[in-house]
Structure 1
Amino acid sequence: MNSRTPVLIGLSLVLGLGAAFMANNWLSARLNEEPDDNMKNVVVATAEIPFGQMVEAQQVTLVRMPTGTVPDDAFDATEKVVGQIATFTMLRGDIVRGARLAEHLGGSTLASLIDKDKRAISVRVDDVVGVGGFLLPGNRVDVLATKKVDGSNNTAKSETILEDLRVLAVDQTASTDKTQPVVVRAVTLEMTPEETEILVKAQTEGTLQLALRNPLDNQKKPLPPVAEAVAMVAPAPVPQAPKRVIRRRSSSGSSAGVTIIRGIDVQATKVQL
């Protein structure tokens, strides 16, 4: 064996250990560096989160994105979104935003989907009223009411009483994981307190029909113009000058002259006695 072989082996071991030590120090330094100011932690969905479902930990993850591309209402920690309710369907890879979540304050998840100034009310439906079973949570509908006219059995009147209402749930589910039509028995709609009064009154007076709207159609028919009350002021009465009557008896005694003075108007006439 060559006498230089042990020396070369020892030198190789020293150089290898030195390289490993330097690589370890470089990697540790990179890991301990402050994060880039141009990047930000963002919570994104790792799976589809249906409308009305509570967000679970396995459905979200944390990624880093350029600060300029991050929405203002995005979250920087998964703990902030887990347990909240999805008010819109989120697909895999979507940024989880505050506008698409509602805090779950207890009770059913449906209560968390209702806006603060609105109410939820259920309407009994069949395959016709329920638009053939094509109504799903998240759809928007109009409500038409039909009632008899003046107690007649042959004459009815139908009109649209409510417009652009959001469907919160069908039967007892607020999920949108179904795409095929399903005949349901009840539809829960979101509306203002004033609209609930209109709906309940219409239910007692006749029948209801739901009309499915296009998701892009948010136009409502204009309200009838309010007639402005015009105060009718009666013209002030024109004061008339008092009449002054002057009688003059004729010399013959058979007739008399009468002079009527009204203001500057003087009128003379004769009166037979």
Structure 2
Amino acid sequence: MAMRSVLVAMLGVAIAGGSAIGARHYLIATPALSSPEAGPVAEMVQVIVAARDIPFGTEIQPSMLKVIAWPKQALPPSAVTDPKLLLPAEGQQPRRAVKGISQGEIMLTSKISGYGEKVTVVQNLSPNTRAMAIKVDAVTAVGGLITPGDRVDIVLTQGQSGSLRATTILQNIRIVGVDRQTDERSEQSTVARTVTVEVTPEQGQALALAQKAGTLSLTLRTLDAEPNRQMESVALEDILNAPPPTAVDAPAPEPLRTRIKVRRAGEVETVEVN
């Protein structure tokens, strides 16, 4: 009886083990069914990204690059997938960053110069614009807080003594350089002597005349500044002759009254005297 129980138990274990092995082979051989919510598996390709921040004008070197997998459908058209396209051959001049590239950012051909190509501020200008320098100081350049990439309004102050007048001549102008600094990712601010701005040819003419006509001051715009609007010039006499704020009339004080006590026929009465 005992032997029969042992044989039955061994047979059960053998059947269970065989079932488990069979199920495993079945799952391996059977392709996974995709659920209605799951989409097709994305095809991955290799792409080159920046291993660290690459400032404007920096030579592209192997230590600055790394390869990662990226979904093919989400790959930008100008993405670089072969590091040989970024690194020079023996005896060849290097390529440089024509725009600042952040760590982890995909390397794009639009942000890389040609082999041995000179990199200047020209690569940072928008189509049909010019770079023009204007003289500034600590006061006119917002105390040295302006850095490349900021946007400013330019105010012209002209006249003498009581005839002074201020006029906003240009709005939403991009700063492309502060002295010789052109890297927009730089957070270091300095008291500059010149600021280079990006302007259209027409704006450049106006700016050249304005520099001769008076003093130019920069006002730093916020990131969510309102769109450009027509602004009237302000004269010093407008400020000095502006009517003072209307005073609120205070209520008239109540007259002082004196109270005295009067005794009449044995009774005391309080009487107010003006």
CA contact (8 A) 1:55 1:86 kept: no
Among 101, 113, 116, which residue is 1:90 paired with?
101
Q: Deviations over 1:94-134 (max 9, x none)?
A: 223456x2646855521222223111011111111111111
1:210 to 1:59, Cα distance in 2 relative to 1, 3 A: same
CA distance in 1, matches of 2:81, 2:230: 43
Residue of 188, 199, 205 corresponding to 2:213: 205
Paired residues of 2:113 and 2:119 also in contact (CA < 8 A): no
Tell me the secondary structure at the aligned position of residue 204 of structure 2.
helix
**What amino acid sits opposite 1:45 in the alignment?**
A
Indicate if the aligned counterparts of 1:46 and 1:59 stay in contact, CA closer than 8 A. Answer: yes
Q: How many residues align?
A: 183
2:128 to 92, 117, 120: 117
| Change over 3 Å in CA distance of 1:200–1:68 after alignment to 2 | same
Tell me: CA distance 1:213–1:79, structure 2 relative to 1, closer, same or farther (3 Å).
farther
The equivalent position to 1:159 in structure 2, one of 159, 162, 167, is 167
Secondary structure (helix, strand or coil) at the match of 2:122 reads helix
Q: 1:94 to 1:218 in 2, by over 3 A?
A: farther
Q: Does 1:131 align with 2:136?
A: no
CA apart distance, 1:194? 0.6
Q: Aligned in 2, Cα 1:96/1:106: closer, same or farther, shift over 3 Å?
A: closer
Q: Which amino acid aligns with 2:47?
A: V
- For 2:176, the equivalent position in structure 1 comes to 168
Higher strand share: 1
Q: What's the counterpart of residue 71 of structure 1?
A: 76
CA contact (8 A) 2:151 2:175 kept: yes
Matched, 1:62 2:67: yes
CA distance in 2, matches of 1:131, 1:107: 32
Q: Unmatched 5+ residue regions in structure 2?
A: 1-40, 88-94, 233-274
- Runs (5+) with no aligned partner, structure 1: 1-35, 225-273
Q: CA deviation at 1:53?
A: 2.8
Root-mean-square deviation over aligned CA pairs? 2.8
| Cα contact 1:85–1:109 (8 A) shared by 2 | no
TM-score by length of 2: 0.58
Residue aligning to 2:44: 39
Q: Give the greater-gyration-radius structure (CA).
A: 1
Structure 1 residues 92 and 119, CA gap change in structure 2 (3 angstroms): same
In 1, the alpha carbon distance for the partners of 2:198 and 2:166 equals 22
Q: Is the 8 A contact 1:132 1:181 kept in 2?
A: no
2:98–2:113 CA contact under 8 A, matched in 1: no
Q: Within 1, Cα distance between the matches of 2:145 and 2:72?
A: 41
Q: Kindly provide the amino acid, as one letter, of the partner of residue 138 in structure 1.
A: G
Distance 1:213 1:86, change over 3 A: farther
TM-score, reference length from structure 1 = 0.59
Alignment partner of 1:195 out of 203, 209, 217 = 203
Displacement after TM superposition at 1:197 (Å):
0.3
Residue by residue over 1:145-174, the C-alpha shift from the partner in whole angstroms, topping out at 9 and shown as x without a partner, is 1112xxx53222112111111111111121
Inter-CA distance 218–98: structure 2 relative to 1 (3 Å threshold): farther
Are the structure 2 counterparts of residues 164 and 91 from structure 1 closer, same or farther at C-alpha, using a change threshold of 3 Å?
same
Change beyond 3 A, Cα 1:202–1:110: same
Q: Match for 1:76: what amino acid? A: T
Match of residue 181, structure 1, among 171, 189, 200: 189
8 Å contact from structure 1 (residues 144, 209) kept in 2: yes
Matches of 1:116 and 1:140, distance apart in 2 = 18
In 1, Cα distance between equivalents of 2:86 and 2:148: 22
Report deviation, 1:74: 2.2
User: One-letter code of the match for 2:57?
Assistant: Q
